[in-house]
Amino acid sequence: MGDFGVIADVSSVIVKALTQALRGLSQVEPPIAELNDLSETVQTPPPKLTVFLYEIAEDPTSRNRPPVRSQPPDPPTVRKPPMALLLRYLITPWGGDQATQHRMLGRALQTFYDDAILDGAHLSGGLAGSTESLHVTLTPLTLDQKSWVWYAIQKPYRLSLNYEIRVVDLDSAVETAVRPVRSRTIEGTATP
């Protein structure tokens, strides 16, 4: 279950996975991954893969889930189902030569291809120890769509990867107490 910090937790998980994957690319100055909104110039060295969360959307396939009821021995409560989120990230290489940047992109692709579902020990923050799993999917965007993203952040187009992380559950903060049923009345219908 995710509280309001779940988006930051997912971003940290992505950065951690990419930083670990990049360690073997260079012994002298290994590239790192960092969370970055690309509003400023990316500082290199070392070479970096920036992880930019550019869109948050509700997952339409997860709507209409039933309310969440508390489990005994807690007092009976009901809460709206978690809001299922899709997080879309732009992953971009910076620094080094073109070959280094291409190797960083290749390593990111390899990492999320091999571990397309992040769960268990991969999770940290509020997600650590939970049964949550994050599904990582390379999102195909047309060149026009990619250009729109770069235009929106007012930067020239750069070769980058677009990943979608689903389903990230954001819990409702409102719980309603429910009273237990103490008696019931069954009315029968008469049959002729």
Per-residue pLDDT of 59-107, as tens digits, reads 887 777 766 676 666 777 777 777 788 899 999 999 878 888 898 999 9
Supply the pTM of this predicted model: 0.78
Query: Does residue 168 belong to any structural domain of this protein?
Result: yes
Task: Enumerate residues 6+ apart whose C-beta is below 8 A from 188.
Answer: none
The pLDDT score that the predictor gives to residue 90 is 92
The pLDDT score that the predictor gives to residue 18 is 92
Report the C-alpha dihedral over residues 81, 82, 86, 87, rounded to 10 degrees: 170
Range of the domain at 47: 6-175
Q: Name residue 162's beta-bridge partners.
A: 90
CB 155 within 8 A of CB 48: no
Q: Helix, strand, or coil here: 89? A: strand
For residue 130, the domain's CATH number is: 3.30.2000
The pLDDT score that the predictor gives to residue 125 is 76
Domain count, the chain: 1
Rounded Cα distance between 90 and 161, Å, is 6
Give me the average pLDDT of each 10-residue run along the chain (192 residues).
77 90 78 86 85 88 71 72 86 86 91 87 76 87 86 87 84 68 74 62
Query: Does residue 55 belong to any structural domain of this protein?
Result: yes
Query: Does residue 182 belong to any structural domain of this protein?
Result: no
77-79 and 83-94 strand pairing: unpaired
The pLDDT score that the predictor gives to residue 121 is 79
CB 12 within 8 A of CB 125: yes
The pLDDT score that the predictor gives to residue 1 is 52
The pLDDT score that the predictor gives to residue 60 is 80
CB 105 within 8 A of CB 116: no
Query: Does residue 34 belong to any structural domain of this protein?
Result: yes
Rounded Cα distance between 136 and 112, Å, is 7
The pLDDT score that the predictor gives to residue 153 is 85
